[in-house]
Each structure stands twice: as C-alpha cells, then as structure tokens.
Structure 1
C-alpha cells in the first residue's frame, strides 16, 4: 500500500528532479565535460539573455544569491562567464556568457534532450505537454 508521501505531488516532483539531475550529471561526466547541471542551467539563462544581474539569474533559476555567487565564481574560473560592473547600479554585477560558455552549453544540450527522452519514454506528446502545463501552473501558484 502506498503512503501519503508516495502520492504527494511535492515528493514525486522532487524525486523526479533529483533523478533527472543525477542522469544529466552522469551523461555530462561520461562525455568528459567539466560542468555541473546547475552551472549548465545558468549558462542556459545567460545564453537566452546575456548581461543579467546575479539577482535576475537567481530568480530565473530558483537559487539563492549565495549559490549564484558560488556557481558564477566557478563559471568565471572556467572561462564560461564573465562579470562586469553594472553601469546603472554600482552594487550590482552583470553576468555574460562567453564564447566558450556557449560552446559548452551547446555540447550539453543534446545530452539533456536524451535524458528527457529517457524520462518521458512511454508517454505520449500530449501526456508530456499536459505534465508541462501542470508543472508551470504549480510553479506559478508557488511563485506568488
């Protein structure tokens, strides 16, 4: 008999996220790419809109500022991102992806697609779209 926890959307979403992250991390390591899934997520956001502030990156990736600082430090050390002082706010930094950052981000994308294909094996396109819509609604509800 399944417990309340086994039927909980929060538990199921969290476990799915952890397993997806583990699978992606394994795929990245197997391809000898020196990046973590968290770093890749930030590079994705920076490729979409380079020049975001750390606060904006934190909001888009659901990470706190301390985590963003640590991750961006590592991305900078690897030459994948750069920080520049914000000309409008001397307290803020704008983060931009480098050419090397784009190359690494693009190397990982097909690996992430394969992980998602594995995760959604046996589901119809409609099932996946319905799940995505439901997940977006949950995120929207909890972001208010």
Structure 2
C-alpha cells in the first residue's frame, strides 16, 4: 500500500541558502506518515491510546539526494517496508512533482510502545492482522 501527499515549499521552510532546511524534511516525512495512517484508518483511532499503547519512532535514516526550493511541490510517498514482532519500518521517498527528481529517501522504524511498562511490546494480534492485510502479507 502506497500513500502520497503533496506539500508546497513555503518561505518558512527555507534556510539561509534558500533551499529547504534539513530539519523541515523530518516534518514533511511525518506529514506523509500521518496521511498514511489516516488512509489506513489508524490516524484518528484512539483505541490504542486508550490501552496505553503508542507508536514510538526509534530510528530514522535519511539520504538527501537533491535540493528543494521555494515554490516546489513535493510528493511524499509512504509505504510499509518491514513488519517485525514489535516494530514496523516504513520506506518514504520525497519526489519533486515537476522534475520527478528524488529529493529524499528515508527509512523510519517505529516500535509498539507500552506507556505503563515504558518498553516496547509485541504488536497486539488485531493490529498485526490489520497491518498484514494492508501490506498484503499472505500466510
């Protein structure tokens, strides 16, 4: 399952060199993940929060491939890459919508985190099944 969201580069996204500041890409990637979760039906689902379970980002690897500048329209592409016992890794790519240049590639790993235990826990079975269905894992 691939999700895309577009973001137009605004003046406040730029650094003194007049291109998108590296820290802003973290926000763009996060916007892509939230849109993915919304489309997946988990963005506004409070059931996990009610159980004291949250997704915690534990690793982000970003490769910067090209610059983006004021007025560019960027397409943030997000998909699942790997499903573990306690973790999920998402692959994200930011593409310049006009030039089709790859601007950023990133891998983001989350763990299923228990606020009560203050530790990573195994994915609950119902959540794992929902994710497997979305990413096309067959048994």
Q: TM-score range by the shorter chain?
A: under 0.3
More helix per residue:
1
> Highest CA radius of gyration, 1 or 2?
1
> What is the TM-score with the length of structure 2 in the denominator?
0.26
